[in-house]
Amino acid sequence: MPITVGQDSANTRKTLTAGGASVAYYSIPAAEAAGLGDFTRLPAALKVVLENLLRFEDGKTVSLDDIRAFSDWAAQGGKTAREIAYRPARVLMQDFTGVPAVVDLAAMRDGIVALGGDAQKINPLNPVDLVIDHSVMIDEFGNPRAFQMNVDREYERNIERYTFLKWGQKAFANFRVVPPGTGICHQVNLEYLAQTVWTDEDQNGETVAYPDTLVGTDSHTTMVNGLGVLGWGVGGIEAEAAMLGQPVSMLIPEVVGFRLTGAMVEGTTATDLVLKVVQMLRQKGVVGKFVEFYGDGLDHLPLADRATLANMAPEYGATCGFFPIDDETLRYMRQTGRDEGRIALVEAYAKENGLWRGPDYDPVYTDTLELDMGTVVPAIAGPKRPQDHTPLDRAADSFFNVVAEYRGEDESIDAAAMASEGPVPDALVDPRKSAKVEGADYTLRDGAVVIASITSCTNTSNPYVMIGAGLVARKARALGLTSKPWVKTSLAPGSQVVSEYLEAANLQEDLDALGFNLVGYGCTTCIGNSGPLAPEISKAIHDNDLIATSVLSGNRNFEGRISPDVRANYLASPPLVVVYAIAGDLNINVAHDPIGTDKDGNAVYLKDIWPSQKEIADLVESTVTREAFRSKYADVFKGDEKWQSVETTENETYDWPASSTYVQNPPYFQGMDTEPGTIADLEGARALAILGDMVTTDHISPAGSFKDTTPAGRYLTERQVAVRDFNSYGSRRGNHEVMMRGTFANIRIRNEMLDGVEGGYTLGPDGQQTSIFEAAMAWQEAGVPLVVIGGEQYGAGSSRDWAAKGTALLGVKAVIAESFERIHRSNLVGMGVIPFEFTGDTRSSLGLKGDEAFSIAGLEGDLKPGAEVPCTIGYADGSEKTITLKCRIDTAIEKEYVEHGGVLHYVLRNLAKAA
């Protein structure tokens, strides 16, 4: 489908010849020549956005004043409050978030027909790629059959979802599905889908070149920024609006420059670098901002390492972490099999339009910070946040303090200091527990590593750390080392290319020898699909309240995410994952102490099995080839025989199967009027939950497994679904009945209305403890609106739209927090839930207990974006207090979304009228 470009009032459309072809493009230098401003020192990331406005300038949605605002941004030191309409070139989805998005589109087709419109009006206007990567679960591991058995089980569990997606592929234009077993969406995007400079025909049939841009329904969409492609994560509802032609409403962002100097030293990896960067940027505070990496350190940073840094943008809180285009970009495109004509176009376009990083690259930034990469040390991050950076030589001491805090001892205990003074004093009782495992010849203790997983897009996309992990396995195997018997080991690469070069380097058999057999191509442990532990190990952990640990090469280690059996989760490089599988215990200082003994009984240290940078680089050079990428992506949309055998209909609307427990028609558009409503003041709302700081979207809408005793479990049991077939919350996101029951149901969430209780519980209208779902339904039955109270960084983590959808369906009208993460705030607005921020008060200073009533005025009539409004709190003793809240409806279009009941209702009504 051709793009519809604007009127080009400033005559910025020019012609560029590269790779033997001529294309039209929109020139930033031409905009300067037309007197629209000085854009020479804009960061490359902002020039991508500026080009977008030049291309779509129509005098209405995008004006010349919007374009001039970028010059003002530079002149004012990287700040402006200008709201703009931005249109990404394409949309990327994964199946956990993609299924509910396609469910919404299918429901919108039903909805537009009910409003008298044409079902074909509901079709993506922009290209959409959905990669099925989140569904494979590690049921089988540590043997050669693991991959095939996990794939077979995946299809058994998910055939209803896959049938639905295949229907969507046929029913919707501009919509492609990458089948299961291919890879992780971000790695497929980096290695194949992304083009850095995109080309398409406009409405006049002329070929236009423009920067490759996208939004994705997964927060780690940012990974592709390492390739000079501007992209970030949004919720499914926002992505659906973008698909249907609705621009992304945003303020011209601040851009923080992160200057990298020096080079990585022996013994360190890109993972160590990114964990340090996450810590620094979290401390800096970059929520809602762009981060752009620059400096001469980039001359020594391979694109795979850049992609690792870009991938973790959600963990450091930024909208994106962008890398300008340079020679390394071109080298990577060539290595991964991109067409030579495309590579020539990328170089010519980037140099012509100011997106190229050369020696004189010196943009204006809102703020800057700097890191000498030569100072980076080996590290892990945990036990529950990616920013909890812990140098490797302090990891064991840090874990001792975690245990001490959990067991109620003084958390300031310093194990290293005590050890240097001799034995632990008698007066101090070691808080660590241990327990015998039934039927086994070993015991577990606090700190036992029960999961060691090489997983996720973040690190398995990087051949340097993957080859490094293989070499660690090779050296360990040669010495006779093995993984500990209580460790569940797994290898889940982000694409089939990884297996290709591991096999070519003869490293896969070394990984197999340590239990790191291929288990699937997908997110697995990182998304919570770690699969069950051995029953006897799980029993020992729960019966004795042990603090078991996981070590994974992922990007997220939030509470309750990785496994219900594991309390402390640590992020590490793939080579360190192998090391910890051998050591088997977080209490061991792997940086200095023996990690095992060789076949002759000699102590083996980390230095004995750690490869040099040259060893790694030599193998990468010889095994990671252009031919491997071209062959593995030759039939990327075809899939295997299992995918080809999935049958579906070709109807333009979906025939919702009444018996399906995976896909149900959601209630959003049922009975919808043709005209929007208004925003009303909130009267007498009650608190559904009072939550603390850093409440993540995993807390709000978990992705992992659940028990039959939960509301979601009972719903499935009542429909004769066996516990073995529950699958996960993530896989059930096409069924609102399951997801409503799973909202705020994370096993580690703590509602401060209750005393010391973990899990999805609250107080119902009768004042008794009950599940959050049952309480919400009782309040709805009584006609009482609900609010949720939160602390700082509410909604951190992924772009999970169900964290907002579930909140809305439970009857929550507002969320009042100290601060919000970017994506979740946007998602709440997109579902018609109003976010508010405290202005000086907190849940603690107000003494909130959960028995208060909340009334928020000032919402009716001419509510301005960002307005401050009064909130009156009625306490149980009859007293009242009025405080001021900031309404986080940030833009005028967001106000319209809320008036319509959500962004999809807004789009649907407009499409129905246009029909």
Looking at the fold, whether 395 and 483 belong to one and the same domain comes out as yes
Q: What pairs with residue 448 in β-bridges? A: 585
pTM of the model: 0.86
pLDDT at 238: 83
Compute how many other C-beta atoms are within 10 angstroms of the C-beta atom of residue 570. Answer: 27
Tell me phi and psi for residue 594, to 5 degrees. Answer: -60, 140
| Two tokens, residue 637 | 């949309």
Looking at the fold, whether 326 and 418 belong to one and the same domain comes out as no
Average pLDDT over residues 337-345: 97
Looking at the fold, whether 762 and 875 belong to one and the same domain comes out as yes
pLDDT at 674: 86
DSSP 70: H
Helices (H), 638-710: 641-644, 697-700
Asked whether residue 65 is domain-assigned, the answer is no
Using the predicted structure, report yes or no on whether residue 652 has a pLDDT greater than 70.
Answer: yes
pLDDT band at 428; cut points 50, 70, 90: low
Closest CA to 701 of 505, 903, 528, 489: 528
Q: In angstroms, rounded to a whole number, what is the distance separating the alpha carbons of residues 306 and 178? A: 25
Asked whether residue 40 is domain-assigned, the answer is no
Looking at the fold, whether 809 and 904 belong to one and the same domain comes out as yes
Contact 438, 540 (CB under 8 A): yes
pLDDT band at 415; cut points 50, 70, 90: very low
Contact 213, 310 (CB under 8 A): no
Q: In angstroms, rounded to a whole number, what is the distance separating the alpha carbons of residues 483 and 490? A: 11
475-505 per-position pLDDT tens digit = 999 999 999 999 999 999 999 999 999 999 9
* CATH code of 859's domain: 3.20.19.10
Contact 738, 765 (CB under 8 A): no
Residue 831, Ramachandran bin (φ over 0: left; ψ between -120 and 50: alpha; else beta): alpha
Q: In angstroms, rounded to a whole number, what is the distance separating the alpha carbons of residues 11 and 301? A: 39
Looking at the fold, whether 341 and 403 belong to one and the same domain comes out as no
Q: SS3 for 641?
A: helix
Asked whether residue 74 is domain-assigned, the answer is no
pLDDT at 236: 80
Residue 402, Ramachandran bin (φ over 0: left; ψ between -120 and 50: alpha; else beta): alpha
First vs last C-alpha separation in the chain: 19
Task: Please tell me the total count of domains within the chain.
Answer: 3
Looking at the fold, whether 559 and 692 belong to one and the same domain comes out as no
Looking at the fold, whether 248 and 332 belong to one and the same domain comes out as yes
Looking at the fold, whether 570 and 707 belong to one and the same domain comes out as no
Asked whether residue 68 is domain-assigned, the answer is no
* CATH code of 549's domain: 3.30.499.10
| Two tokens, residue 431 | 């808080």
Cα distances (angstroms) measured from residue 699 to each of 96, 299, 319: 16, 40, 21
Mean model confidence pLDDT for the chain: 93
760-791 per-position pLDDT tens digit = 999 999 999 999 999 999 999 999 999 999 99
Q: SS3 for 208?
A: strand
Looking at the fold, whether 368 and 507 belong to one and the same domain comes out as no
Using the predicted structure, report yes or no on whether residue 421 has a pLDDT greater than 50.
Answer: no
pLDDT band at 420; cut points 50, 70, 90: very low
Closest CA to 317 of 285, 273, 294: 285
pLDDT at 429: 73
Asked whether residue 34 is domain-assigned, the answer is no
Looking at the fold, whether 349 and 408 belong to one and the same domain comes out as no
pLDDT band at 912; cut points 50, 70, 90: confident
Domain end, chosen from 624, 639, 658, is at 624
Asked whether residue 337 is domain-assigned, the answer is yes
Amino acid of residue 640: D
Q: In angstroms, rounded to a whole number, what is the distance separating the alpha carbons of residues 464 and 477? A: 20
Average pLDDT over residues 576-602: 97
Asked whether residue 386 is domain-assigned, the answer is yes
Domain end, chosen from 375, 403, 431, is at 375
Looking at the fold, whether 252 and 312 belong to one and the same domain comes out as yes
Average pLDDT over residues 406-432: 55
| Two tokens, residue 836 | 């508010």
Instruction: Indicate the pairing of strand 255-261 with strand 367-372.
Output: parallel
Q: Which residue has the tokens 């003041």?
A: 681
Closest CA to 123 of 907, 800, 672: 907
Chain-centroid distance of CA 721 in Å reads: 30
pLDDT at 576: 98
Instruction: Indicate the pairing of strand 812-817 with strand 868-874.
Output: unpaired
Q: In angstroms, rounded to a whole number, what is the distance separating the alpha carbons of residues 278 and 697? A: 19
> 290: number of CA atoms within 13 Å, CB side?
30
Report percent pLDDT > 90 for the chain: 84
Cα distances (angstroms) measured from residue 410 to each of 413, 533, 707: 6, 32, 34
pLDDT band at 423; cut points 50, 70, 90: very low
Asked whether residue 649 is domain-assigned, the answer is no
Looking at the fold, whether 135 and 154 belong to one and the same domain comes out as yes
pLDDT at 672: 86
pLDDT at 411: 40
DSSP 24: E
Using the predicted structure, report yes or no on whether residue 237 has a pLDDT greater than 90.
Answer: no
Average pLDDT over residues 555-569: 90
Q: SS3 for 770?
A: strand
Cα distances (angstroms) measured from residue 461 to each of 151, 271, 311, 331: 21, 12, 10, 16
Using the predicted structure, report yes or no on whether residue 410 has a pLDDT greater than 70.
Answer: no
Q: SS3 for 705?
A: coil
Report percent pLDDT > 70 for the chain: 98
Domain end, chosen from 375, 390, 414, is at 375
pLDDT band at 409; cut points 50, 70, 90: low
| Two tokens, residue 519 | 């288990």
Q: What is the DSSP string of 471-489?
A: HHHHHHHHTT----TT-EE
pLDDT at 422: 42
Closest CA to 46 of 213, 176, 239: 213
pLDDT at 98: 86
**Residues spanned by the domain of 285:** 90-375
Q: In angstroms, rounded to a whole number, what is the distance separating the alpha carbons of residues 274 and 565? A: 27
Contacts of 18 by beta carbon, 8 Å cutoff, 6+ apart: 341, 344, 345, 347, 348, 349
Q: 527 or 783, which is more confident?
A: 783
